[in-house]
């Protein structure tokens, strides 16, 4: 990662007023539950977006990044027309304006080491870094707890991706050494201690390197199916179907595919609650079977996995992982495996062997520990 301050100096020939960082995330458990008003349990990665920024003497915003050759400039009259990666930046400016804030004109230089297209929220990290920078630069009165919804609006309304609130919440509200237990209806959070090293454990992240896309039909189709099911069942959201009432609820749905979608969401919410209970009691290994059950549910009921992630999960489990699952929106992206800390190399080798046997592009792996959420850097 090039230093964002150096990138700022090179692009704008002046010093930035500060640097703001926001991380990517992985979700420990609770997939496609956020837009059903349910529960999620992500933690922040060490990989992050850094925005070096300063107020601009001219009106409008200019933003450059280490992942695009040209800077992008827009003013408040052109704000709706920005395309590509800079749309996430313009979307944040737009959402702040739309919420009635006077957004300071700014110059922003962005660097990132969050892998793009890996399902670890590089776009939410970008939104969150820019939002945190603009709020501080402008002295805007926007409490931390209200920021994720604003960044989510940038993504939903401006960029046009119908995502839930998990990723922006994770990037903004996560804390080091903890997983973020978020109730996506009330937006209440509990910071759950998640000290892997003290338990002799590690989370191995396996990037399947299979292409991953959100702004496509599949994510939206899952979301519509869930919303339609809630309408038929007469509940505000699938969060309101309790596991004990699931069988009866399923009898009210004619469509077999819709029944499976509902079963995933209702059982997944319960797995999040069970995971939180185990972690509160300090039983980290015991969350393994819940992770693996979550994967099976995503594969068989929600149908959002691909062969690359299924093979990674199988190989990690065969190599002794306590549990393994795909994380994120699906159709590619990363797998998390809960392993003994000294098994990272052996597990990686087992997954690489399985990938070679299947003729898949080699995976990329690293061990993750929960890092801090969005912040101004010293
Ligand atoms: C993506 C979305 F952005 C999140 O809101 C969430 O729905 C996730 O997929 C699936 O759990 O990351």
**Ligand 1 site, residue 127, Cβ cutoff 6 A:** no
**Ligand 1 site, residue 261, Cβ cutoff 6 A:** no
pLDDT score, position 352: 98
pLDDT score, position 272: 99
Atom of ligand 1 nearest to the CA of 155: 3
pLDDT score, position 2: 66
Q: What is the pLDDT of residues 24-45, one digit of tens each?
A: 999 999 999 999 999 999 999 9
Q: Which two tokens stand for residue 80?
A: 């709706």
Q: Which two tokens stand for residue 151?
A: 């960044």
Q: Which two tokens stand for residue 335?
A: 């797998």
CA of 265 to the centre of ligand 1 (A): 13
Task: Print burial letters for 103-112: b (CB count within 10 Å at least 16), e (below 16).
Answer: bbbbbbbbbb
Cα separation of the two ends of the chain: 18
Q: What is the pLDDT of residues 117-168, one digit of tens each?
A: 899 999 999 999 999 999 999 999 999 999 999 999 999 999 999 999 999 9
What is the rounded CA–CA span in Å between residue 355 and residue 173?
35
pTM of model > 0.95: yes
Q: Which residues are catalytic?
A: 167
What is the rounded CA–CA span in Å between residue 14 and residue 129?
20
Tell whether ipTM is more than 0.95: yes
Q: What is the pLDDT of residues 234-249, one digit of tens each?
A: 999 999 999 999 999 9
Could you say which DSSP state residue 115 is in?
P
**Ligand 1 site, residue 328, Cβ cutoff 6 A:** yes
Question: Cβ(30)–Cβ(297) under 8 Å?
Answer: no
Atom of ligand 1 nearest to the CA of 31: 11
Residue whose Cα lies nearest atom 2 of ligand 1: it is 163
Q: Tell whether 56 is in a known binding site.
A: no
DSSP H stretches of helix in the chain: 4-12, 86-98, 122-138, 147-153, 166-173, 217-233, 246-251, 256-280, 288-300, 307-318, 344-358
pLDDT score, position 77: 84
Phi, psi of 205 (to 5 degrees): -100, 130
pLDDT score, position 213: 57
Task: Delineate the domains of the chain, giving CATH numbers in brackets.
Answer: 4-193 (3.30.230.10), 197-368 (3.30.70.890)
Assess whether pLDDT exceeds 70 at residue 373: yes
**Ligand 1 site, residue 268, Cβ cutoff 6 A:** no
Strand-by-strand arrangement of the 323-327 sheet: 323-327, 334-340, 201-207, 364-368
3-state class (DSSP) for residue 288 = helix
Residue whose Cα lies nearest atom 8 of ligand 1: it is 329
CA of 81 to the centre of ligand 1 (A): 25
Assess whether pLDDT exceeds 50 at residue 215: no
> Between 256-280 and 288-300, two packed helices, what is the crossing angle to 10 degrees?
170
Q: Tell whether 120 is in a known binding site.
A: yes
User: What is the rounded average pLDDT for all residues in the chain?
Assistant: 96
pLDDT score, position 13: 86
pLDDT score, position 117: 87
Residue whose Cα lies nearest atom 7 of ligand 1: it is 32
Distance set, CA 329 to CA 30, 62, 109 (Å): 11, 31, 28
Distance set, CA 215 to CA 13, 123, 155, 330, 344 (Å): 36, 12, 10, 12, 33
Q: Binning pLDDT at 50, 70 and 90, where does residue 68 land?
A: confident
> Which of the listed residues 164, 220, 301 should we mutate to test ligand 1's pocket, taking the one with most ligand atoms within 8 A of CB?
164
Strand-by-strand arrangement of the 18-27 sheet: 72-74, 61-65, 106-112, 42-55, 18-27, 375-377
pLDDT score, position 188: 98
Distance set, CA 38 to CA 237, 242, 271, 330 (Å): 8, 11, 11, 18
Q: Binning pLDDT at 50, 70 and 90, where does residue 351 land?
A: very high
């Amino acid at each position: 990662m090039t230093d964002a301050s150096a990138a700022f100096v090179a692009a704008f020939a002046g010093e930035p007023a500060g640097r703001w960082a926001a991380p990517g995330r992985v979700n420990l458990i609770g997939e496609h539950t956020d837009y059903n008003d349910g529960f999620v349990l992500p933690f922040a990665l060490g990989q992050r977006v850094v925005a070096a920024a300063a107020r601009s003497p001219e009106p409008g915003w200019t933003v450059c990044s280490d992942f695009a050759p040209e800077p992008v400039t827009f003013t408040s009259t052109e704000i709706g027309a920005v395309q590509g990666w800079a749309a996430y930046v313009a979307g944040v400016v737009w959402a702040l304006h739309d919420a009635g804030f006077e957004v300071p004109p700014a110059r922003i230089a962005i660097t990132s080491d969050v892998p793009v297209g890996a399902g670890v929220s590089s776009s939410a990290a970008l939104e969150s870094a820019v939002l945190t920078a603009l709020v501080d630069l402008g002295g805007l009165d926007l409490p931390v707890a209200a920021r994720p919804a604003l960044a989510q609006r940038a993504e939903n309304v401006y960029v046009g991706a119908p995502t839930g609130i998990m990723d922006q919440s994770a990037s903004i509200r996560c804390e080091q050494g903890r997983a973020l237990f978020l109730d996506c209806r009330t937006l209440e959070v509990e910071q759950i201690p998640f000290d892997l090293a003290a338990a002799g454990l590690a989370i191995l992240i396996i990037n399947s390197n299979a292409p991953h896309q959100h702004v496509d039909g599949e994510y939206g189709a899952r979301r519509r199916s869930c919303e339609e099911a809630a309408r038929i069942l007469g509940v505000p959201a699938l969060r309101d179907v309790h596991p004990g009432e699931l069988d009866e609820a399923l009898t009210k749905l004619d469509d077999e595919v819709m029944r499976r979608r509902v079963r995933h969401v209702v059982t997944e919410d319960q797995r999040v609650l069970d995971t939180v209970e185990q972690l509160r009691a300090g039983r980290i290994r015991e969350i393994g079977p819940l992770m693996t059950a979550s994967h099976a549910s995503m594969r068989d009921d929600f149908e959002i996995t691909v062969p690359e992630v299924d093979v990674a999960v199988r190989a990690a489990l065969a190599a002794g992982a306590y549990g393994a699952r795909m994380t994120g929106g699906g159709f590619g992206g990363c797998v998390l495996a809960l392993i003994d800390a000294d098994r990272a190399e052996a597990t990686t080798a087992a997954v690489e062997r399985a990938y070679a046997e299947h003729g898949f592009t080699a995976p990329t792996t690293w061990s993750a520990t929960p890092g801090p959420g969005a912040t101004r850097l010293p």
